[in-house]
């Protein structure tokens, strides 16, 4: 009886881990899609309503999906709370907060950091250009992430369960 219970626990645990890893791939694809939406919203805030950056970031953050929220909300709070912080530093803090939620590769973080350097420091037109450029790059990153998702999501779902089954078989 205990053996059976243990076997069930091992299989369930391994399956859960597999599903968890598989969901990371899905989350990454979604994140890049949401980030593009977020940048479009930010562009509107900057271009048409000329909202100050902390407020614009906060507004965009409130409209965003919760996976993407830490980036904008954290950047907005850092900008509002600390005096003498540049927009790039606040954005970098946001990127770090985002990296804690969803794993990002070095190139992706670098891309977001570079976007931060152009934020809030130049004329409206320049910022809009910067946003458009970053959006284009993000769409490329999204494509790569989608390919990875197609390749790896099913793999990890099956692999988790199979690994649990193998462990149980060896232990029994």
Partner 1 sequence: MKVELIFQIAGIGILTSIFHIILKQAGKEEYSFIATLAGVAIALIMVIQLLAELLDQVKGVFFL
Residues 134-153 that bind partner 1 (CB under 8 A): 151-152
User: Which of the 8 DSSP states describes residue 103?
Assistant: -
Q: Which residue of 37, 51, 80, 162 would you call a contact of partner 1, by CB under 8 A?
A: 162
| Rounded distance between C-alpha atoms, residue 112 and residue 138, angstroms | 9
Task: Tell whether residue 155 is a contact of partner 1 (CB under 8 A).
Answer: yes
- Rule CB under 8 A: is residue 5 a binding residue for partner 1? no
DSSP state of 143: H
Distances in Å between the Cα of 115 and the Cα atoms of 34, 110, 126, 130, 169 are 16, 9, 12, 7, 51
Rg (CA), the chain: 21
Q: Which two tokens stand for residue 13?
A: 């645990």
Residue 163 Cβ, how far from partner 1 at the closest point, in Å?
Answer: 8
Q: According to the binding rule CB under 8 A, does residue 20 interact with partner 1?
A: no
Shortest Cβ 9–partner 1 spacing (Å)? 18
| Closer Cβ to partner 1, 44 or 157, answer by number | 157
CA distance 148 to 105: 13
Interface with partner 1, residue 44, by CB under 8 A: no
Residues at the interface with partner 1 (CB under 8 A): 151-152, 154-155, 158-159, 162, 165-166, 169-170, 172
């Amino acid at each position: 009886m205990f053996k059976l219970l243990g076997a069930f626990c091992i299989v369930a645990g391994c399956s859960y881990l597999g599903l968890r890893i598989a969901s990371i791939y899905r989350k990454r694809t979604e994140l890049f899609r949401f980030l593009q939406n977020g940048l479009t919203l930010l562009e509107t805030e900057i271009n048409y309503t000329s909202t100050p950056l902390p407020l614009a970031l906060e507004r965009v953050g409130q409209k965003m999906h919760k996976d993407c929220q830490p980036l904008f909300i954290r950047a907005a709070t850092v900008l509002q709370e600390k005096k003498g912080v540049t927009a790039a530093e606040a954005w970098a803090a946001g990127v770090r907060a985002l990296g804690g939620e969803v794993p990002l590769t070095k190139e992706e973080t670098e891309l977001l950091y570079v976007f931060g350097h152009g934020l809030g420091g130049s004329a409206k037109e320049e910022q809009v250009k910067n946003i458009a450029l970053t959006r284009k790059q993000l769409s490329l990153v999204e494509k790569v992430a989608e390919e990875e998702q197609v390749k790896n999501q099913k793999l990890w779902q099956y692999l988790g369960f199979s690994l649990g089954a193998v462990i149980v078989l060896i232990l029994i």
